[in-house]
A = this chain, B = another copy of it.
Amino acid sequence: MSDATSRPSEATPRRRERRAAQRLRQLPWRDIRVPYRPYEILSADQVEAIHLASLKVLEEIGMEVLHEPTRALLKAAGVDVDHASQRARFERGFIEQAIAKAPPEFALRARNPAHSVTLGGNRIVISSVGGPAYISDLDRGRRDGTYTDMCDFIRLVQSLNIIHQEGGGPVEPLDLPAESRHLDLYLAQITLTDKTWQGWALGSGRAVDAIEMNRIALGLTSAEMAGTPAQMTIVNTNSPLRLDIPMAEGLTAYAGAGQAVVVTPFTLSGAMSPVTIAGALAQQNAEALAVIALAQTINPGTPVVYGGFTSNVDMRTGAPAFGTPEYAQAVLAGAQLARRYRLPFRSSNVNASNAVDVQAAYESAMSLWACFSGHVNLLYQAAGWLEGGLTASFEKLILDAEMLQMMAAFVTPMVVSEESLGFAAMVEVGPGGHFFGAAHTLERYEDAFYQPLLSDWRNFETWREAGALDGTRRANAIWKELLKNYEQPPLDPAIREELEAYVARRKQEIATSK
């Protein structure tokens, strides 16, 4: 599948890339750490009350586990399993002992070692949108996702330094066969980026293919791969309190291979969880703890991330809402819960807007501030997510990259030193003067402040004469410029050949088994 693999590598000189990057003023790739104390909205007592409520849920209501082998495994581990009702009830001692086996932080290896990431502590790993069915841009509108769109989007994810990780396919390539399109996605992720990437957990086949193809890309044996987390996937519960068969299979494959699992209940308050945010969090916590405990039962030490995805619905229509005040509260409270268990935490950059407009911006900003101030470790759906996750948007990708860069600059600590306090500059300039020409200014002005990717700070007249382009239309020009300047990262031809052979073989197997 060819667009990704046969497109000639645009081996333009580094100089051109630097020039383009300079014109577009991107921040360089960087680890992001938040040096400030986490912003917290719950007291320790409130955290404990939610914790205890969730343990009571697991003991008395339990989870419905649809996958028979998983029920058998839990029963063997001492969990109270009723096969007739498919219900597993967990004692708190089991949960607490199991989750204690999860590492508080872990690294994920990228094909380009400079792009490897670490999850945990005060670090934030930024992962792009994954999963939408629709794609949109200003020129072509909203439409079904295609393989070409998917590849272009992945190229942009590679080009934007602020994005650490590809998020599992920006859009479904609906023009490819459903049963094998994951193979085309994985090949594109490996060949078009050299960052870490997420695979799909939907069933054993898709999970194993992601792990195997990543193993080939990294040139590792299976044993080496088991000791080197590189692959990551999202495992969602079917809230309320149900784990379905495809997700259980995916979890089993990932945990079994020592790869990372982001356990994320999708607890929409008022629909799939109680209409109170405290209740939704208690249920989120119950589901997350149960599945994290399951992962540790499958393979102790499995790298896991506690995922929170509690938002609310519009109670008049039932429509999901994102980037709401309740969402921000749920992010911050979820991060507090995850810290209680010493687990990395995942949340997301979400919005419910149908257009890349002010609503998309302020709902995303609400999400991002909660994520950054609350010390989210995996910031998923961070760039490109629109319309409650139904659509991946090229302009939203650029808007998000700007907001993410701004947050990254915000968490870069202010330097307070004799030099930076600038007393000598104030003496030099004196009352009523100006600092443009001061020595203190001239020494520092080039890198003094964050320089934007998208914001336009020209005065009104200049801006109007230049076409009066609003931010969304400027974003449209930026993604096209980035795509034009995209350079495919190098890959050993032998590895590429092995990957292509793997894909061909698996497609054959899938076709035969139909």
Is A406's CB under 8 angstroms from B457's CB? Answer: no
Which of A440-448, A490-498, A503-511 forms contacts with chain B?
Answer: A440-448
Check if A125 is an interface residue, CB within 8 A of chain B: no
Is A274's CB under 8 angstroms from B413's CB? Answer: no
Interface of A is mostly: mixed
Q: A271-B434, A358-B360 known; A319 and B459 CB under 8 Å? A: yes
Interface size on A, residues (CB 8 A): 125
Is B421's CB under 8 angstroms from A278's CB? Answer: yes
Is A406's CB under 8 angstroms from B354's CB? Answer: no
CB distance from A382 to the nearest CB of B (A): 14
CB-defined contacts of A402 to chain B, threshold 8 Å: 362
Is B53's CB under 8 angstroms from A421's CB? Answer: yes
Check if A321 is an interface residue, CB within 8 A of chain B: yes
Which of A73-81, A174-182, A237-245, A295-303 forms contacts with chain B?
Answer: A237-245
Best-buried of A355, A358, A362, A366 by chain B (most CB within 10 Å): A358
Distance A345 CA – B440 CA, assembled complex (angstroms): 29
Distance A230 CA – B78 CA, assembled complex (angstroms): 69
Binary CB contact string for chain A from 15 to 35 against chain B (1 if under 8 A, 0 otherwise): 000000000000000000000
Which of A6-14, A114-122, A220-228, A325-333 forms contacts with chain B?
Answer: A325-333
Q: Which of A29-72 contact B (CB under 8 A)?
A: 36-37, 39-42, 46, 49-50, 53, 56-57, 60-64
Is B271's CB under 8 angstroms from A354's CB? Answer: no
Partner of A432 from B64, B275, B446 at Cβ < 8 Å: B64
Q: A36-B39, A472-B358 known; A426 and B463 CB under 8 Å? A: no
Check if A112 is an interface residue, CB within 8 A of chain B: no
Is B470's CB under 8 angstroms from A41's CB? Answer: no
Q: Closest B residue to A311 by CB, please name it.
A: B449
Is B449's CB under 8 angstroms from A242's CB? Answer: no
